[in-house]
Every structure is written in C-alpha cells, then in structure tokens.
C-alpha cells in the first residue's frame, strides 16, 4: 500500500532541493519569519488547500481536506534558523550574517512542502484529512506552544494524531530511527551569581574572592549528577559560561555562570533543581559570600507514543525495507518543543539520517554546528514517509 509514495517523492526531488536551498540562503530567526512564510505560501499556490496563520507568530496550518467522516492527522515542519554564521563551502550558503540553518529546519520545511504536493496529487489514497504545521520559533522561542495557544490545533477538523521528522547528520543517509517513550530531554537554563568582595590580588585575605568558589561549585555540581541522581534516570548538567574579573591584579566582587540541565523525568529534574540551589547557596555561605540561582524551565520531555512508534516502524520497513528503520537504544539529550504537541495528541517524532556520503555518520558535523551539511537525497525518504504515515493512519482510523 505504501510503496508508490517513494517513487512519487523522488519525482519531486528537484523541487524539494530547490526549495530547501532557497530558504537555506535566506534564514530567519525566532517567531517572525516573513520571507520563509511567504515562500511556503508561494510554493503551495494553486493547490486546493486551506491556509490559516496564527495571530501571534508566523505559524501556518495548511489543511488538505479528505473524507469528512475520516480522521485527521497533523504533520510538522519547523522553519526557523539558528543565530550563528555559516562556515561551509556550499554554493547556496547563508546570505544573512549571523543566521544559519544549522539544525535542518530548511530540510524539514522543504520536505513538508513537497509532502503537501505529493498528497494533494494523490488525494484518492487518503481516507481523511491531513494538516501540515509549518512552525516558527522551535529554537528556544516556544513556537509550538504559541501555535497551540493561538488555537491552531483546535481548528476543525481537529487532529487526532501527530507525526514529525527531524534530520540527523549522524545517522546513515535515508535511515529512520526512533524509540517509544522518552525521546528527547527537557532543557532548563541555569544562571548562577556569586557575590563576594573585591580587592587587590596581592591581599586576597582582605577580599572575598568569588572565582575559586565558582570553581568549587562547578565540581560540586558534577558530583551531584554522579552521586545524587539515579543513573537509570539520568540528567546532564553543563556549566557552559563563567564570567568574572576585569584584569590580572584585581579580585572581582562577583562571578556569574550560565549552564543547562537536561533531564528525562520530572523526578530527576526536581531533584537536580533542589540540589543545584543547595550547592550554590551553601558553598557560597561556607565562604562568607552570597550565592543565588535562577532556573528557567525549558520545553517538556518529548515522549513518543509507543503504539504510534510501532505503526511508524511497520510503515517505514514497508516503504524502505528492513534496513530502513533502526530502534534507538536510548533517548538523546537534545530538546524539542514538539513535546507540547505530543502532550495533546498520540504520535511521535523520528530522526531521518542525512549523513553526507563522503564521511562516516559518527564523524559528520552534527546539528547546531556551523559546518553542518547534509545528503539532500535523503529528503525523498522524508517526503514519502510523511505521506505513507498519513495514508496508513487515516486508513486504520476509519
């Protein structure tokens, strides 16, 4: 039933690649993506679809109506880029200083645009309605949550399942990988401040130096992870920035640290929060200083519905063969605001391998690298999988 989709997707490959390269050259950041949104609208012009834009951002819901008695499935492609300069030699590299599609959202959007065309051309294969979610602001701006708050997921006919694809340069090209349960982590931001007393570097006993205290805190935080958090319910805690001082012979009055906490359960997340606060305040107090912590909660854990993962596994192997799907042994510590959608609807996210053919996947530049490149041929697998999942789900839900 699903096999013809791949041949049809390959027939659209030149258009998929052209669209991806166009928006790759013109990346936009955050929730307001006027050029990217206009490109999506232009690419869908002439198709018999409904397009609705949210009131708070550039998010679009595109609806391909099918049998009104059938179910509705939601498919997603995120559209925003990252605030970084591109350092590749591809001829279509970013023309926008300080912005790059380093996480593959250009490919996600291109695959979803082609999936609309593919399913529009073969509407007779669909036993219900397909909604396509073109989402801004995934990179830390809570775009999915904003679209939900705008009511876009509640528009009739409301979806009853959801599916999304994220590319990965560290998986062999064209291979789909996923797992049930926790799939990606909850990311929290940590800001730590230590207030001491400044002075001359030659007389540290007359000052209260926050720098060695900051170093002590970093080591204690690593011990917290290793010794106070269950190894079978893990967290990752990274202090990524330490800032203090102005010159070589002045003890600064304060030090500041920024970091991130990644977790897969509310239990370990809460325990780590409590431990971070305790370590910072008590170590500072032990050195007669003041330590404060601000923890900003990020996206929830991305949790895949087990039954839907099994559905995807079956569809993928029928579409791509037995080697076309891999079971992931563990979740990844990256984060996704697709988690908000999966809190509301049964569904899942999968990774699509896009490793360049001239390097081993483990050695490829990963997402968020300014050198990340991908094998564009793999996008045909993503386009076909969107269509195959929609077809199979709508048929089974009758």
Q: Does the CA dihedral 269-216-333-240 come out positive or negative?
A: positive
| pLDDT per residue as tens digits for the range 110-151 | 999 999 999 999 999 999 999 999 999 999 999 999 999 999
| pLDDT per residue as tens digits for the range 295-349 | 999 999 999 999 999 999 999 999 999 999 999 999 999 999 999 999 999 999 9
d(CA 299, CA 184): 10
Model-level pTM?
0.93
Closest by Cα among 192, 300, 280, 295 to 240: 192
Q: Which residues pair with 97 in a beta bridge?
A: none
Q: What is the DSSP string of 103-134?
A: SSHHHHHHHHHHHHHHHHHTGGG-SSEEEEEE
Three-class SS state of 182: strand
Going by pLDDT thresholds of 50, 70 and 90, the confidence category of residue 3 is low
Q: What is the DSSP string of 344-395?
A: HSSEEEEEEE---TTS-GGGS--TT-TT----GGGHHHHHHHHHHHHHHHHH
Number of CB atoms found within 10 A of residue 56's CB = 15
Give the mean pLDDT of the chain.
96
| pLDDT per residue as tens digits for the range 12-32 | 999 999 999 999 999 999 999
| pLDDT per residue as tens digits for the range 300-310 | 999 999 999 99
Q: Which residues pair with 64 in a beta bridge?
A: 130
Please check whether residue 60 is in contact with residue 37, taking contact to mean a CB–CB distance below 8 angstroms: yes
Per-residue pLDDT, 66 = 87
Closest by Cα among 146, 187, 182, 143 to 299: 187
Cα R_g (the chain), whole angstroms? 24
Does the pLDDT at position 216 exceed 80? yes
Per-residue pLDDT, 1 = 46
Going by pLDDT thresholds of 50, 70 and 90, the confidence category of residue 398 is confident
Structure letter (DSSP) for residue 27: -
d(CA 68, CA 19): 31
| pLDDT per residue as tens digits for the range 259-276 | 999 999 999 999 999 999
Per-residue pLDDT, 4 = 86
Helix H or strand E encompassing 148: helix 143-149
Please check whether residue 92 is in contact with residue 25, taking contact to mean a CB–CB distance below 8 angstroms: yes
Q: Residues in the chain, how many?
A: 398
Number of CB atoms found within 10 A of residue 10's CB = 16
Query: Which residue numbers are catalytic?
Result: 299, 376
Does the pLDDT at position 2 exceed 60? no
Please state whether 104 falls in left (phi above 0), alpha (psi between -120 and 50) or beta.
Answer: left
Number of CB atoms found within 10 A of residue 120's CB = 17
| pLDDT per residue as tens digits for the range 71-94 | 999 999 999 999 999 999 999 999
Q: Which residues pair with 236 in a beta bridge?
A: 262
Percent of the chain with pLDDT over 90: 97
Please state whether 30 falls in left (phi above 0), alpha (psi between -120 and 50) or beta.
Answer: left
Q: What is the DSSP string of 72-98?
A: EEEEEEE---BSS------TT---STT
Residues with Cβ within 8 Å of residue 256, at least 6 apart in sequence: 191, 192, 193, 194, 241, 242, 243, 244
Residues with Cβ within 8 Å of residue 130, at least 6 apart in sequence: 63, 64, 66, 72, 73, 75, 119, 390, 394
Closest by Cα among 135, 130, 115, 119 to 16: 115
């Amino acid at each position: 039933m699903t096999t013809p989709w791949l041949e049809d997707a390959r027939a659209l490959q030149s258009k998929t690649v052209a669209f991806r390269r166009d928006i790759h050259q013109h990346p936009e950041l955050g929730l307001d993506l006027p050029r990217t949104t206009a490109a999506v609208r232009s690419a869908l012009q002439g198709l018999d679809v409904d397009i609705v834009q949210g009131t708070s951002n550039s998010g679009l819901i595109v609806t391909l109506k099918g049998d009104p008695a059938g179910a509705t499935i939601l498919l997603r492609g995120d559209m925003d880029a990252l605030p970084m300069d591109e350092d590749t030699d591809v001829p279509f590299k970013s023309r926008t200083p300080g912005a790059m599609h380093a996480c593959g959202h250009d490919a996600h959007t291109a695959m979803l645009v082609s999936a609309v065309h593919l399913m529009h051309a073969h509407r007779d294969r669909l036993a219900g309605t397909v909604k396509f979610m073109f989402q801004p602001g995934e990179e830390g701006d809570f775009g999915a949550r904003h679209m939900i708050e705008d009511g876009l997921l509640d528009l009739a006919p409301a979806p009853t399942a959801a599916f999304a694809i994220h590319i990965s340069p560290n998986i062999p090209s064209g291979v789909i990988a996923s797992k049930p349960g926790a799939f990606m982590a909850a990311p929290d931001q940590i800001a730590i401040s230590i207030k001491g007393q400044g002075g001359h570097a030659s007389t540290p006993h007359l000052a209260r130096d926050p720098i060695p205290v900051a170093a002590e805190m970093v080591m204690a935080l690593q011990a917290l992870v290793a010794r106070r958090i269950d190894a079978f319910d893990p967290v990752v805690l990274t202090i990524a920035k330490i800032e203090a001082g102005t010159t070589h012979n002045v003890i600064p009055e304060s030090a500041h640290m920024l970091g991130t906490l990644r977790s897969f359960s509310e239990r370990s997340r809460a325990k780590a929060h409590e431990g971070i606060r305790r370590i910072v305040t008590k170590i500072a107090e032990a050195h007669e200083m003041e330590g404060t912590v601000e923890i900003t909660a990020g996206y929830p854990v991305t949790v895949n519905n087990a039954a839907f993962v099994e559905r995807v596994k079956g569809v993928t192997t029928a579409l791509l063969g037995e080697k076309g799907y891999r079971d992931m042994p563990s979740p990844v510590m990256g984060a996704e605001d697709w988690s908000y959608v999966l809190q509301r609807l049964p569904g899942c996210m999968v990774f699509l391998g896009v490793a360049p053919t001239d390097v081993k996947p483990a050695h490829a530049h990963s997402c968020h690298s300014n050198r990340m490149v991908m094998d564009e041929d793999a996008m045909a697998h993503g386009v076909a999988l969107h269509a195959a999942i929609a077809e199979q789900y709508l048929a089974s839900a009758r």
